[in-house]
């Protein structure tokens, strides 16, 4: 059964990254070494077995599984990759990124300047928090339309972009671990009072915080001990750009629905203090590089050996 070069390349990128991460976790996984290794090894197994099953038996159920398994796979790989990044280095890189931000903005910290000079109404905070929180829905919305319209090649290209780009983002997180301005430049415990929302902001923040092992009542010094080091580059920005680029490239009907949501997400990364401006700019640069090189990578890795 024929498998697209984009599918083959995506699986090989995922397999390679998972193997490398499994090895790194052994040496740099810290207290979560066993759990991290099991997570990475499980994705290694999935990336070998699922494509083989689809090619051997080729039914619709396996085809759908082959397309979709990368979504949980990437979420499974995320925590051990972040943990490895933290243990690879003796320090975080926030100071360096803050210096770049200050160089770009004439000595000012963008999030501090925004707080001091611009009042963001609670309704705007609410909308931006929803845009940020719902990022995982955007690929599903686009993917659903492509599936209904039987745009199989477009799905395969989009899938490969997400795998390639996510792996690129994870490598950035490991090489340049950084916390983000909500903890380093602001008092984290004051976030709710300084940027209040309406009804959904607080529970959404709470769920995101719980995933990172922190809570809204923690001071910055306490939260910094456990929070994920995933600020650089902005993975939210990268994956959102892949979704928007694909939506407009294939002229998807949902593109005009996704555009304001994706734009709101990118704006929220800075306004809600999750990322430095440098993180977001890096997300744009890396996303452009991934989109530009993806066809070549698919051509090279997508050959059957």
Hey, what's the torsion of the CAs at 203, 208, 210, 212, to 10 degrees?
-160
Residue 145 inside a domain? The answer is yes
Cα(272)–Cα(226) distance, rounded to whole angstroms? 20
pLDDT (0 to 100) of residue 182: 97
Taking residue 56's Cβ as centre, other Cβ atoms within 10 Å add up to 9
Q: What is the CATH number of the domain that holds 174?
A: 1.20.144
Hey, what's the torsion of the CAs at 109, 114, 116, 122, to 10 degrees?
-140
Helix/strand number for the chain, H first, E second: 16, 0
Residue 42 inside a domain? The answer is no
Q: What are the angstrom distances between the C-alpha of 113 and each of 118, 195, 211, 273?
A: 8, 14, 29, 12
Please tell me the number of Cα atoms within 13 Å of 106 on its side-chain side: 1
Residue 148 inside a domain? The answer is yes
Residue 27 inside a domain? The answer is no
Cα 268 vs. chain centroid, distance in angstroms? 14
Residue 223 inside a domain? The answer is yes
pLDDT (0 to 100) of residue 1: 45
Instruction: Cis check for the bond before 233: say yes or no (omega within 30 of 0).
Output: yes
Domain that includes residue 130, residue range: 91-301
Cα(305)–Cα(302) distance, rounded to whole angstroms? 9
Residue 10 inside a domain? The answer is no
Q: Are 76 and 43 in contact (CB under 8 A)?
A: yes
Residue 46 inside a domain? The answer is no
Q: At what angle do helices 33-57 and 5-28 cross, to 10 degrees?
A: 160
Q: Is the pTM of this model over 0.75?
A: yes
Residue 155 inside a domain? The answer is yes
Hey, what's the torsion of the CAs at 169, 271, 288, 50, to 10 degrees?
40
Cα(281)–Cα(141) distance, rounded to whole angstroms? 25
Tokens of 17: 């990254």
pLDDT by position in tens, the chain (length 305): 457 889 999 999 999 999 999 999 999 988 889 999 999 999 999 999 999 999 888 788 898 899 999 999 999 999 999 999 999 999 999 999 999 999 999 999 999 999 999 999 999 999 999 999 999 999 999 999 999 999 989 999 999 999 999 999 999 999 999 999 999 999 999 999 999 999 999 999 999 999 999 999 999 999 999 999 999 999 999 999 999 999 999 999 999 999 999 999 999 999 999 999 999 999 999 999 999 999 999 999 987 65
Cα(187)–Cα(169) distance, rounded to whole angstroms? 27
Number of domains in the chain: 1
Q: Are 247 and 254 in contact (CB under 8 A)?
A: yes
Tokens 């590089």, located at residue: 289
Cα(209)–Cα(222) distance, rounded to whole angstroms? 13
Run of H or E including 296 = helix 277-301
Residues in contact with 191: Cβ distance below 8 Å, sequence separation at least 6, in sequence order: 182, 205, 216, 273
pLDDT (0 to 100) of residue 4: 82
Cα(204)–Cα(133) distance, rounded to whole angstroms? 7
């Amino acid at each position: 059964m024929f498998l697209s070069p984009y599918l083959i390349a995506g699986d090989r990128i995922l397999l390679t990254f998972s193997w490398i991460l499994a090895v790194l976790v052994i040496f740099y996984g810290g207290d979560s070494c066993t759990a991290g290794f099991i997570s990475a090894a499980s994705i290694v197994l999935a990336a070998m077995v699922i494509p083989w099953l689809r090619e051997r038996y080729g039914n619709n159920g396996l085809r759908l599984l082959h397309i979709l398994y990368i979504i949980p796979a990437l979420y499974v790989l995320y925590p051990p990759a972040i943990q490895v990044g933290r243990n690879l280095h003796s320090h975080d890189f926030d100071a360096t990124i803050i210096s770049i931000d200050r160089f770009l903005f004439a000595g000012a910290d963008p999030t501090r300047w925004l707080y001091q000079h611009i009042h963001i109404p609670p309704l705007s905070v609410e909308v931006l928090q929803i845009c940020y929180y719902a990022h995982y829905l955007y690929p599903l919305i686009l993917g659903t339309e492509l599936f209904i319209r039987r745009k199989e090649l477009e799905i395969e290209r989009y899938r490969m972009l997400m795998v390639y780009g996510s792996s690129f983002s994870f490598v950035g997180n490991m090489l340049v671990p950084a916390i983000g301005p909500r903890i380093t430049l602001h008092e984290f415990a004051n976030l709710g009072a300084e940027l209040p929302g309406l009804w959904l902001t607080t529970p959404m923040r709470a769920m995101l915080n719980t995933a990172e092992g922190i809570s809204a009542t923690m001071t910055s010094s306490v939260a910094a001990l456990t929070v994920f080091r995933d600020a650089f580059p902005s993975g939210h920005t990268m994956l959102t750009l892949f979704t928007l680029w694909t939506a407009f490239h294939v002229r998807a009907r949902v593109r005009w629905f996704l555009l304001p949501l994706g734009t709101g997400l990118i704006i929220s990364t800075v306004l809600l203090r999750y990322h430095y401006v440098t993180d977001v700019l890096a997300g744009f640069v890396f996303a452009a590089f991934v989109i530009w090189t993806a066809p070549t990578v698919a051509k090279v890795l997508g050959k059957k050996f």
